[in-house]
Amino acid sequence: MKRKPKTKRHKQNKYFEEDSDENFYYIAGYTDDGAPYGISWNEIIAQELRFRGAIKKDAKKAAELIHIAIDDIAEKLTGQSKSENIRETLEHFFREENNRLSYQNTIVADILGEVAGIVITYPGEAAPRLDEPILKRLRKKRRNEMIFLDKEADEGDFYIDTLCVADRFRGYGIGSMLLKEAEKAAIQKGYSRLSLNVAQDNPNAKKLYEQIGYKGGKLIKINEHLYDYMVKIL
């Protein structure tokens, strides 16, 4: 019987050379009927998933995930239209301190040194201060001092700005675990309310958030799109 084709990636780490497909982190071999066997993604994630504060070296992958998560808002924040320029600017802000997209505000889901997902959080009342470096750059680029950013978070809330898991790590509960990490951060900083925004044209995401305790309170507009502002009491 013909063997099932393999999709390979090779990456050296301290454990072994990776040889993976959509089901297995490491393919140790094949059975007589061509089925692969080895260490599954479920096993490696259970064993190796760690949560940590972001570092500047995470910038490239973090910028990619931020872009995926916030989509057209990234174009507004960066003043760029081409994907490569948007991500380059997001990388810049991620490496810098004291802005909303900074590594300082980011928790990383790490699997063997790889960024599997991120969550970006900060106090709602800090948003105007954290937006200042972004606004300053944007106004200079556009030569327009009348540019403003939409208010996304309420004062007194610990706000989840961005949540994203890389494609090949989706479906393993990492997003839910990142939300738990955001809850821990909120409690450590003395907040009892955690908030986020969900696009109105994404009812499935809203339903998932409702299932874990978030409740919608109002509609807000961000970059001309309507969002449900949802709050979880901790």
Could you list the pLDDT tens digit for every one of the 234 residues in the chain?
334 444 333 344 444 445 788 888 889 889 999 899 999 999 999 999 999 999 999 999 999 999 999 999 999 999 999 999 999 999 999 999 999 999 999 999 999 999 999 999 999 999 999 999 999 999 999 999 999 999 999 999 999 999 999 998 999 999 999 999 999 999 999 999 999 999 999 999 999 999 999 999 899 999 999 999 999 999
Name 230's bridge partners: 196, 216
The single-letter DSSP state of residue 15 is S
Q: Residue 127 corresponds to which amino acid?
A: A
Phi/psi at 22 (nearest 5 deg)? -70, -15
**HSE (side-chain half, CA atoms, 13 Å) at 210:** 9
At residue 73's C-alpha, the angle toward residues 67 and 79, to 5°, is: 90
CB within 8 A of 224, min separation 6: which ones?
A: none
Angle, CA of 104, 205 and 44, to the nearest 5°: 60
- Report residue 44 as tokens: 């490696």
Structural domains of the chain in order of their starting residue, each with its CATH number: 1-49 (no CATH), 54-233 (3.40.630.30)
Rounded Cα distance, 108 and 91, in Å? 15
